[in-house]
Amino acid sequence: MYNADKHFETLYDTVPRKYEFNETTPEGITAWQANFRPELRNILGLDNMESDLAGYVPKAEQLDVLDMDNHFRESWYLWVEPTVPLPFYLLKPKTIEGNIPLILTPHGHNHPHIYAGIAHSEKEETEMIEGERDIARQAAAEEGYIAIAPTTRAFGETRTDADKNNNATHSCRHQLVHSILVGRTPIGERVWDMSRLIDWGIENLPIDAERIAITGNSGGGTVSLFAAACETRIAAAVPSCYYCTFEGSIGTIRHCDCNYVPGVMRLGEMYDVAGLIAPRPFCAIAGRDDPIFPIDHVNFAYEKLKEIYTVAGVEDQCELYIGDGGHRYYKAAAWNFVRRFFHNNLIVPTQEKDVS
DSSP letters for 39-103: HHHHHHTHHHHHHHTTT----EEEEEEEE-SSEEEEEEEEEEETTEEEEEEEEEES---S-EEEE
CATH of domain 19-342: 3.40.50.1820
HSE-CB of 252 using CA atoms within 13 angstroms: 16
Predicted pLDDT at 349: 33
Q: List the chain domain ranges.
A: 19-342
pTM for the predicted model, two decimal places: 0.94
In the chain the beta strands, taken as DSSP E runs, fall at 60-67, 71-81, 84-93, 100-104, 146-150, 207-217, 236-240, 282-287, 318-323
pLDDT digits (tens, 9 = 90+) for 114-131: 999 999 999 999 999 999
pLDDT digits (tens, 9 = 90+) for 78-88: 999 999 999 99
pLDDT band at 344 (very low <50, low <70, confident <90, very high): low
* Cα separation, 36 vs 320, whole angstroms: 24
% of the chain exceeding 90 in pLDDT: 96
